[in-house]
Amino acid sequence: MRYYLSLIIALLVTSVYSEEKTTLYDFRYWTAPDHTRIVIDTEEDTLFSISKNNDYIVISVDDAEVLSDTFSNIFFEDERIQKIRIKRDRETIKLIFHINKDYRVKHFTLTPNTKYKHHRLVVDIIDLEAKSSVKATKPVKDQTLSNRKIILVDAGHGGEDSGAIGKNKSQEKNVNLAIAKKLVANINKNPELKAILTRSGDYYIPLTKRITIAQKEKATMFISIHADSVENSSAKGASIYTLSEKGNNSKLAKQLEQSQNLVDQFGGVETVIDNDQFLKNILTDFSRKDRDIQSQQLAKEILKELEKIGPVHKIEPQKANFVVLKSPTIPSVLVETAFISNPTQEKRLTNSKQQQKIANSIYQGIIDYYLNLEKDL
Ligand SMILES: [Zn+2]
């Protein structure tokens, strides 16, 4: 009898034990100028601990298994990570990251959403050397650029947030960045202008941070580059949005508002802040009316140029309540360059020559806007 009982207990323990095994589904890395982000797709109750030493970080996960399909994704080339090792200590998996910079580590977890079905563990390796180098170059920059107009060019999405995905699997974030980079190159050829990118690679920047970058850089214009997506794959053409705090009642704009303003969920922010509350705090006495009129002017000029190179979806600039357009003091527009959900347009969006054409048109729109502004003075 006693033998029988202990057998049952042994069986129970084994079955409970295997049920508790947690799966690490996948691993992704995003390299930003000031940090490297490690993302691990996990189960809900994954037990993990993170310890930091001088030159390495250990992420330990209890009773874990790694899928053979994604095992190789653990190993990633990154300027800050010298070496990645995996060690099994009984049922605990230890991921060891050797870091070759002075760094700080921060982590948080994210719950599933429409884009990510698994829970995510996010570990940010914050590069302390990168920060100090930015500070060192600042004063020189301020002096030399005092007379130039500074334009912030924002490539929508990035990193964990791919944006819309085309029928042929092109990701909006990559198209946006390619066009944004071409636009920046155009602008910077003009000695009176200076363009700065919110992001220069494949990593995520929270929406409100995109606005604070504009403020920090003393930008006088904000242009966010995106590509549209709808169910109907024949929808085509460019459209431009300016801010309306009230929002827009059209179905497409409503959908867009939702998808634009929720991207922080996908991209991953440590604490979800109330964006509207945040923005109230940075609003100054500046006349919002003036900003809105200027944004509208800028939108019209850009749309006029885009019309010359391809179809436009809406002939007039549209209004929507996009968080990223809420810079309190500067004209801000969001350009939906084309529909990535339309295979013909997707092809155009991924073609370097076509991207250049789009960038040229936006650039010409900016110039026309400034010329008009001078006329009015
Ligand atoms: Zn977008």
Q: Looking at the structure, do residues 65 and 160 belong to the same domain, yes or no?
A: no
**CA 367 to centroid of ligand 1, rounded, Å:** 24
CATH classification at residue 253: 3.40.630.40
**CA 172 to centroid of ligand 1, rounded, Å:** 7
Q: What is the pTM of this model?
A: 0.86
Q: How many domains does the chain have?
A: 2
Q: Looking at the structure, do residues 105 and 245 belong to the same domain, yes or no?
A: no
**CA 275 to centroid of ligand 1, rounded, Å:** 18
**CA 164 to centroid of ligand 1, rounded, Å:** 6
12 belongs to a structural domain: no
pLDDT at 159: 97
6 belongs to a structural domain: no
pLDDT at 16: 44
**CA 180 to centroid of ligand 1, rounded, Å:** 13
Q: Looking at the structure, do residues 62 and 162 belong to the same domain, yes or no?
A: no
**CA 27 to centroid of ligand 1, rounded, Å:** 24
**CA 170 to centroid of ligand 1, rounded, Å:** 13
**CA 165 to centroid of ligand 1, rounded, Å:** 10
pLDDT at 331: 93
**CA 206 to centroid of ligand 1, rounded, Å:** 13
Q: Looking at the structure, do residues 173 and 285 belong to the same domain, yes or no?
A: yes
Q: Looking at the structure, do residues 207 and 186 belong to the same domain, yes or no?
A: yes
Q: Looking at the structure, do residues 197 and 298 belong to the same domain, yes or no?
A: yes
**CA 65 to centroid of ligand 1, rounded, Å:** 35
Q: Looking at the structure, do residues 71 and 190 belong to the same domain, yes or no?
A: no
**CA 265 to centroid of ligand 1, rounded, Å:** 14
**CA 290 to centroid of ligand 1, rounded, Å:** 26
Q: Looking at the structure, do residues 69 and 204 belong to the same domain, yes or no?
A: no
1 belongs to a structural domain: no
Q: What is the mean pLDDT of each run of 10 residues along the chain (377 residues)?
A: 49 48 95 96 93 95 94 95 93 95 94 94 95 46 62 97 96 98 98 96 94 91 95 94 80 80 86 63 60 93 96 91 83 96 97 98 97 81
**CA 369 to centroid of ligand 1, rounded, Å:** 24
**CA 267 to centroid of ligand 1, rounded, Å:** 12
Could you list the residue range(s) of the whole structural domain that residue 344 is in? 136-376
**CA 161 to centroid of ligand 1, rounded, Å:** 10
**CA 194 to centroid of ligand 1, rounded, Å:** 24
pLDDT at 317: 94
- Per DSSP bridges, beta strands 149-155 and 221-228 are parallel
- Per DSSP bridges, beta strands 64-66 and 22-24 are parallel
Q: Looking at the structure, do residues 59 and 153 belong to the same domain, yes or no?
A: no
Q: Looking at the structure, do residues 58 and 157 belong to the same domain, yes or no?
A: no
Query: Which of 128, 161, 188 corresponds to the end of one domain?
Result: 128
**CA 341 to centroid of ligand 1, rounded, Å:** 12
123 belongs to a structural domain: yes
Q: Looking at the structure, do residues 100 and 178 belong to the same domain, yes or no?
A: no
- Is the CB of residue 97 less than 8 Å from the CB of residue 81? yes
**CA 259 to centroid of ligand 1, rounded, Å:** 8
Rounded to 5°, the CA angle 341-343-349 comes to 80
pLDDT at 280: 60
Read off the tokens for 164.
Answer: 């819309």
3 belongs to a structural domain: no
Q: Looking at the structure, do residues 278 and 330 belong to the same domain, yes or no?
A: yes
**CA 169 to centroid of ligand 1, rounded, Å:** 15
**CA 13 to centroid of ligand 1, rounded, Å:** 49
Query: Which of 128, 149, 165 corresponds to the end of one domain?
Result: 128
**CA 304 to centroid of ligand 1, rounded, Å:** 21
Please give the Cα distance from 160 to 73 (Å, whole number): 15
pLDDT at 269: 87
**CA 260 to centroid of ligand 1, rounded, Å:** 6
**CA 86 to centroid of ligand 1, rounded, Å:** 36
Query: Which of 105, 128, 151 corresponds to the end of one domain?
Result: 128
- Closest by alpha carbon to 301, among 357, 362, 355? 362
**CA 119 to centroid of ligand 1, rounded, Å:** 23
